[in-house]
Structure 1
Amino acid sequence: MSAQAQVDAWLTRLAGERKASAHTVDSYRRDLAKLLRWMDAQGIGGFEALEPNRMRSFVAAEHRGGLSPKSLQRLLSSCRSLFRQLSREGLMAHDPLAGVRGPKVHRKLPQVLDVDEATTLVEAQGEGALNVRDRAMLELFYSSGLRLSELTGLHWVDLDLQAGEVRVLGKGSKTRIVPVGRHAVAALRALGEAEGMGPETPVFRGRGGAPINPRTVQLRLRTLAMQQGMAKHVHPHLLRHTFASHMLESSGDLRAVQELLGHADIATTQIYTHLDFQYLAKVYDAAHPRARRKT
């Protein structure tokens, strides 16, 4: 089997057995296409001929070509996933990436809204059916920290407004139950009364009653933020970041926040501990007599 055929088989397995999203599969395909092109240029016929020094040369070539440290780390992750699968199938007897490390990625802390900004945004005043829908979307984003895809995929059967809970389908087709705050419950009830609450009906509807388009949600959030005079670029993931930061700041319970966000790896959640420390450092610099800078 050729190297290209092995990649195609792996991508088919990802989409089928592992139920990876189309976006994830496309990312793997783009990354592995880089490896295949490099192998072809080097005259390397198959993956079994790869070894750590060659893979270091591959990473160096991509780095010289302008690939960022973050993209290089993702590229290496894609290659590792493929090589692990080939090893499980007995098609590779060694690890070509043994000891190979990509450049260090300096993680950029996510921007968040403070409590007053978040309250101003979600309580934006308006009239008509569009405002009722927008209020429910904003309240649910901030109340429960949902991803954009999770919110647009909701149906009324997924909500238990009496118990204050929502069942969402997250990454990797994993289901989790997330609390819904009282303000979000009230906004969702108002939406249901205005538009109907059939069990299989999408909670947030677009044209023809279909689930609302993610791009529509993004544009509405940006418009509402501009109407409130907010300087920050407001988008769905900003509200998820804001939810996580405010929860961690108030509770200090990293594991609980991990569960609420649906993070498979707690290291992903830990970025919010750095964000919280950044806030504390600002308070310290402003308040401590021995920390204040001379003006």
Structure 2
Amino acid sequence: TCKVARLSPHTIRYYTYALNSFLGYCQTLGINTVEEIEANHVRLYLVKLQERNNPTSVLDYYKAVKRFFNWLIEEGILSKSPLATIKPPRTEQKIIRPFTRQQIEDLLATCGDSPIGLRNKALILTMLDTGLRVSEMSAIQLKDVDFDKETIIVMGKGAKQRVVRIGHKAQETILRYLLTRQDECPALWLSTTGTGLSTEGIKVVVRELGKRAGLTGVRCSPHTFRHTFATQALINGAGEFEV
């Protein structure tokens, strides 16, 4: 059903992992059919998750299980969901701090001018200019970048294509990085193994740069660049709807 609906591979992997975890737990309770699953079985599972996961992860599992039972109802397999009386687990609403200008300068200073350093610098500048999700950054192909129009075509969430703009510094750094490459890989960002840089690879790069720069008081992740982009856009006059 997910594949027919053309959900992203990431979403399908998420459902696969979460539901295998839940149904595997049900089997340890001696439950072998979905008709046998009751509300308390779900509650026991959530309590077990809370012992080794943060609240946000537990909520993600809850959402996957709820969607599974809603699908069973849509398909006519069940008439009622055991989650009908279970409220979503509460999560902490923490303030996500954007990078400061000094922190960004410190990150850029750790990159250097080696091929990998130029790639990392181009990654940072592109994320700051566009506010792209890490999955969107990873999926950029060389053919998607138009230096004449100063844009990148992005395939976003829900298979929706859009165009984002990049500034002169980002363009210049991307070009300098591309001049160091002698490969035929179609991906814009190249890993050290010669393949396209994955979402996890980008996360590792940003995390390691943060450690080398000695950043404190801020979460060093691609998503923080997304928040930084949004914050700076608002400060510089963009409307909330535009952001």
TM-score interval (norm. to shorter): 0.7 to 0.9
% identical aligned pairs: 23
The one-letter amino acid of 1:236's match is: P
Q: State the distance in 2 between where 1:217 and 1:31 align.
A: 24
How far did residue 165 of structure 1 move? 1.4
How far did residue 203 of structure 1 move? 1.8
What corresponds to 1:260 in structure 2? none
1:149 and 2:135 are equivalent in the alignment: yes
Equivalent of 1:70, from 51, 56, 76?
Answer: 56
How far did residue 122 of structure 1 move? 3.3
1:187 and 2:170 are equivalent in the alignment: no
Q: Is the 8 A contact 1:144 1:181 kept in 2?
A: no
Deviations 1:34-64 (A, max 9, x none): 54345446665543455xxx31x13431344
Q: Is the 8 A contact 1:156 1:197 kept in 2?
A: no
Q: State the distance in 2 between where 1:21 and 1:100 align.
A: 28
Secondary structure at the aligned position of 2:152 is classed as strand
Equivalent of 1:201, from 162, 186, 205?
Answer: 186
What corresponds to 1:25 in structure 2? 12
Q: State the distance in 1 between where 2:201 and 2:30 align.
A: 47
Q: How many residues align structurally?
A: 239
* Structure with greater helix share of residues: 1
What corresponds to 1:98 in structure 2? 84
What corresponds to 1:82 in structure 2? 68
Q: State the distance in 1 between where 2:189 and 2:83 align.
A: 45
Secondary structure at the aligned position of 2:164 is classed as strand
How far did residue 180 of structure 1 move? 1.4
Q: State the distance in 2 between where 1:188 and 1:83 align.
A: 46
The 5 A counterparts of 1:166-245 are 166-195=152-181, 201-207=186-192, 209-214=194-199, 216-231=201-216, 232=218, 234-245=220-231
Name which structure has the greater RCO, CA cutoff 8 Å, separation 6+. 2
- Unaligned regions of 5+ residues in structure 2, if any? none
Q: State the distance in 2 between where 1:246 and 1:163 align.
A: 23
Q: Is the 8 A contact 1:169 1:176 kept in 2?
A: yes
How far did residue 237 of structure 1 move? 2.5
How far did residue 140 of structure 1 move? 0.6
How far did residue 183 of structure 1 move? 1.8
TM-score normalised according to structure 1 size: 0.66
Secondary structure at the aligned position of 1:177 is classed as strand
Compared with structure 1, are the counterparts of its residues 37 and 155 closer, same or farther at alpha carbon in structure 2 (3 Å cutoff)? closer
Equivalent of 2:240, from 248, 254, 259?
Answer: 254
Aligned-residue RMSD, C-alpha: 3.2
Higher mean C-alpha deviation, range 98-107 or range 159-168: 98-107
Q: Is the 8 A contact 1:140 1:180 kept in 2?
A: yes
Q: State the distance in 2 between where 1:39 and 1:96 align.
A: 13
Secondary structure at the aligned position of 1:65 is classed as helix
The one-letter amino acid of 1:203's match is: L
Higher mean C-alpha deviation, range 126-135 or range 222-231: 222-231
Q: Is the 8 A contact 2:97 2:219 kept in 1?
A: no
